Structure 1
Amino acid sequence: MNKQQLRSLALRNLLFTMLQPGMVAGVIPWLLAKQHFRHAFASFGGFRQYAGAVIWLTGLAILLHCITRFALDGMGTLSPADPTRKLVISGLYRYSRNPMYVGVMLLLTGEALFCNAAILWQYSMLLLIIFHLFIIFYEEPRLRRDFGETYVRYSQQVRRWV
């Protein structure tokens, strides 16, 4: 991959990261629970907030690891509009077929815990259901179609979640 292609891939990954997990785990939770966030930041210091921050940071680390694997190993992005060209089975993908979704769920769990906002717990549970259905009815069939027997073997060896 030349410099121009690498730069393009990095920019596309940045764009799709802002548009997808950035919206789902950043903008929308903020809009749903703005007052809860403000109060939590103003009174930061309890165990719940520290635990929420640690869970959030763990989710962020997982998400960034997965995006990096998609770019370097898969030669693509996290977006279905610009998918990987190669099946990514390294890093955290050796233990879960969907660690990026796990990372996003940890981000949301950390935010809900940090803010102690019921609306964020409800939003997180709704997204978990949506993610699960999206994976079963869209992603897995597409991956089987795109990567054939390689994906079938991978899905037999690695669990969907954790």
Structure 2
Amino acid sequence: MNAYRAKPLSFPWPPLIYGTAVLIALVLTRVYPIPVMNGQSWIPWLVGGALILTAIFLDLWAVKALLDRHTAVLPHRCATCLVTSGPFRYTRNPIYLGYTLVMTGAGLMSLNPWFFIMAILAVAATTLFAVRNEERHLLSRFGFEFERYCRHTTRWI
């Protein structure tokens, strides 16, 4: 199979990576709790909730942009066109950014530092195992058009 027809991923890893990161954060909270000053402030809860709502909006907007162009939403399917509209104008990975914002928001709402640590590790793992393969797939499918898009749009934020 040539590179043009190759799938970006053999399995949709990013949801699994982020789900595992959440589970690890919860386990580490039980095993190695990190004390956090809790001034009974509503500000972390409010900011965390805002991040989660932003993430939901971002993910729905990204899925709509993909569906509007009739291309694959799932990361293990071949792209039929390069989507550069909607949230893809600002970031090449809005859905994964949404996952990261959910983890960060959950960490703020629960005052659990492990969520922040695991969010950073999830971003690194997603970049290593998924994003680079997806980018290689898009480069083989769309060539110069994808290179131009990469020059003008950041990978994450």
Fold-level similarity (TM above 0.5): yes
Task: Indicate the structure whose relative CO is greater, using CA pairs within 8 Å and at least 6 residues apart.
Answer: 2
Length-normalised TM-score, structure 1: 0.70
Alignment partners' CA distance in 1, 2:128 and 2:18: 18
Distance 2:17 2:111 in 1: 18
Determine the structure 1 residue equivalent to 2:93.
Answer: 98
Distance in 2 between the 1:27 and 1:133 partners? 16
1:77 aligns with 2:73: yes
- Structure with the higher fraction of residues in helix conformation: 1
Unaligned segments of structure 2, at least 5 residues: 1-11, 30-39
What is the rounded CA distance, in whole Å, between the counterparts of 2:100 and 2:43 in structure 1?
20
Query: Is 1:155 the equivalent of 2:150?
Result: yes
Q: Percent identity?
A: 25
| CA apart distance, 1:123 | 1.4
In the alignment, residue 85 of structure 2 is paired with which amino acid? S
Unaligned residue ranges in structure 1 (runs of 5+): 1-15, 37-43
1:123 and 1:104 map into 2 onto residues whose CA distance is 12
Match of 2:120 in 1: 125
TM-score by length of 2: 0.72
Partner in structure 1 of residue 34 of structure 2: none
Q: 1:130 to 1:31 in 2, by over 3 A?
A: closer
Shift of 1:129: 1.1
How many residue pairs get matched?
136
Task: Call closer, same or farther: CA 1:60–1:79 in 2, change over 3 Å.
Answer: same
The range that moved more, 66-75 or 134-143, is 134-143
Q: CA RMSD in A?
A: 2.8
Q: CA 1:74/1:148 → structure 2, altered by over 3 Å: closer, same or farther?
A: farther
